[in-house]
Amino acid sequence: MQRALFHADNPMSRQFSADDSLLLADIIQLRRDVRGNRFLATDIDNDTMDKLLNAALNAPSVGYSQPWQFVVIRSDNVKQQVHQSFVKENAAGAKQFSSTKQQQYQNLKLEGIMEAPVNLAIFYQPVSKPVLGQTSMPDMGRFSVVCAIQNLWLMARSLNIGVGWVSIVDPEAIKTILNAPSNSELIGYLCIGYVEDFLSEPELKTAGWEKQKNKSQVIFTESFN
């Protein structure tokens, strides 16, 4: 692997090539949110789980606080309890949509809790002292945990492993199921497993649930107008 360096005495100063950045662009573009109808039963071995977790642990964290906690779940009993929370929250969630949307909603498979060989619950544990960089924006610790999740998601795609983020659960129910410390907060619940293939586009785009936004709607120069 090429290692063109800025300074030969500092391996961290590695300069990546144009091909390297194109490869990352492909990984980013081809990452998908994977639902239960696509996971294979093949287990993910410990070495591979380490690669995923190392990607997460190398995320940026505000004030180097590393305020994350990961619970690796393979037990069907635990998954079943989580799935019960999904069923309850999903029924309540569906009702928030207008009648046409509600019908479409109920036809969507929105999780893969039981199908995915590995589930991963990711928590934020607040630090009891002031955190550098979090004094003006109190959500920064939570955001650090999300950066860890996104690192893991991309690493999974590069290993041809699918990840689905299930947010239709009651965070307090998940905390109880996993015996989480009282001050920990659920940030994400992931279903992880190998897949037969990855969809060519986000499922909700293909299904016409939402349209892709134009760049002009979301990118501004110097200020908003």
Residues 124-163 that bind its own copies (CB under 8 A): 130, 132-137, 139-140, 142-143, 146-147, 149-151, 153-155, 157-160
Does residue 192 belong to the site contacting its own copies (CB under 8 A)?
Answer: no
With CA atoms as reference, report the closest residue to 109 among 203, 201, 187.
203
Assess contact for 166 and 189: CB atoms under 8 A.
yes
- Rounded to a whole number of angstroms, the minimum distance from the CB of residue 186 to its own copies is 8
Count other C-beta atoms under 10 Å from residue 157's C-beta.
20
Query: Is residue 171 part of the contact set for its own copies (CB under 8 A)?
Result: yes
Q: Is 193 helix (H, G, I), strand (E, B) or coil?
A: strand
Does residue 22 touch its own copies according to CB under 8 A?
yes
Q: Between residues 47 and 115, which has the closer beta carbon with respect to its own copies?
A: 47
Type of residue at 208:
G
Q: How many residues bind its own copies (CB under 8 A)?
A: 115
Nearer to its own copies, 11 or 37 (CB): 11
Question: What gap in Å lies between CA 177 and CA 81, rounded to an integer?
Answer: 7
Q: Which two tokens stand for residue 182?
A: 């009282």
Q: Are 145 and 123 in contact (CB under 8 A)?
A: yes
- Draw the binding track, 45-74, toward its own copies (x: CB under 8 A; -: no contact): ------x-xxx-xxxx-xxxxx-xxxxxxx
Cβ proximity to its own copies, 45 vs 196, nearer residue: 196
